[in-house]
Amino acid sequence: APAGPAGTGKTESTKDLAKALGIYCIVFNCSEQIEYKMMARLFSGLVSQGAWACLDEFNRIDEEVLSVIAQQLLTIRFALLRSPPTDTFEFNDSTLKLNPMCGVFITMNPGYEGRTELPDNLVVLFRPVAMMIPNYSLIAEIMLYSEGFDDAPVLSAKMVHLYKLASEQLSQQKHYDFGMRAVKSVLVMAGALKKEYSKLTEDVVLIRAMRDSNIPKFLADDLPRFKALIQDMFPRVNIPEVDYGELQAQTEESIAIHRLEPQPT
């Protein structure tokens, strides 16, 4: 049961472990709508195939449903512990094949809104694993190298620092994300831009990726702040205006039709 802040690799680590062991892993996003019957069907499949499930955001499930899930998992666990081992067992009113490779992982985000505390009989069935925020600069550096950047150590340090400052200094909005997921998508985007515009210098490419992936999300007040942060971090870089061509014209036209207010970037 990996638990930790968003983007620390809870889901990814579970998937990777399954891949390393050659086991099929189903990632299942849990929500308030989950019923115990759905889970019973999922578990039936897992135990008869020997597959794994990674139940993401497990603590969003309703508490009453969770306590039934605990009973279901306990039934499976007792069947697995039976001595001598058996290869069939009774579950959900039917006899199922029991493949001992099956496994269930749950990931939780402790700060998540609308979460429920897990019932004790469920907690004892899982081994807790605390996930920590990884070393962003190191990951960014390796990713930049793999995208073909030469100046990866400097650029990754600047970028991670910029993201840290942005997360502290811009207004707090639910849709802003400066975590690992965002860092990763910017780096992949920078790699694509580098291949497309081979004449641009590496810092301009990275700045453009950061601007393109963040600016559409920002509220008007945060735009100048983000620009200032980029200026501070890359003081001597002259950032050329990007010509978005037809896209820009069409966007402006749509803005006018819908009577929205354009914000200069």
Ligand X SMILES: Nc1ncnc2c1ncn2[C@@H]1O[C@H](COP(=O)(O)OP(=O)(O)OP(=O)(O)O)[C@@H](O)[C@H]1O
Using CB under 6 A as the criterion, which residues of the chain lie in contact with ligand X when the complex forms? 6-12, 56, 107, 109, 134, 139, 180-181, 184
| CA dist list (Å): 250 to 215, 245, 254 | 18, 9, 6
Least CB distance to ligand X at residue 4 (A): 6
- Separation CA 12–CA 230 (nearest Å): 30
Among 8, 9, 11, 96, binds Mg ion (CB under 5 A): 11
Does 156 bind Mg ion (CB under 5 A)? Our answer is: no
Residue 157 interaction partner, one of ligand X, Mg ion, none, beta carbon < 5-8 Å per kind: none
Q: What is the 3-class SS of 132-174, one letter each residue?
A: CCCCHHHHHHHHHHHCCCCCHHHHHHHHHHHHHHHHHHCCCCC
Nearer to ligand X, 11 or 72 (CB): 11
| CA dist list (Å): 216 to 21, 120, 122, 129, 256 | 41, 44, 42, 36, 17
Residue 214 interaction partner, one of ligand X, Mg ion, none, beta carbon < 5-8 Å per kind: none
- Which of 23, 89, 32 is closest to 59 using CA atoms? 32
Least CB distance to ligand X at residue 248 (A): 30
Q: Phi/psi class of residue 161: alpha, beta or left (left: φ > 0; alpha: ψ in -120 to 50)?
A: alpha
Contact (Cβ atoms closer than 8 angstroms) between residue 129 and residue 2: yes
Q: Parallel, antiparallel, or unpaired for β 25-29 and 129-130?
A: unpaired
Instruction: Please give the residues from 33 up to 72 whose contact with Mg ion meets the rule CB under 5 A.
Output: 56
Nearer to ligand X, 97 or 217 (CB): 217
Which strand (E) or helix (H) includes residue 27? strand 25-29
Nearer to Mg ion, 105 or 136 (CB): 105
Residue 6 interaction partner, one of ligand X, Mg ion, none, beta carbon < 5-8 Å per kind: ligand X
Nearer to ligand X, 7 or 103 (CB): 7
Q: Parallel, antiparallel, or unpaired for β 129-130 and 52-56?
A: unpaired
Least CB distance to Mg ion at residue 109 (A): 8
- Separation CA 100–CA 149 (nearest Å): 46
Least CB distance to ligand X at residue 96 (A): 30
Residue 165 interaction partner, one of Mg ion, ligand X, none, beta carbon < 5-8 Å per kind: none
Nearer to ligand X, 8 or 72 (CB): 8
Least CB distance to ligand X at residue 29 (A): 9
Q: In the complex, which residue's CB is closest to ligand X?
A: 9
Q: Contact positions toward Mg ion, by CB under 5 A?
A: 11, 56
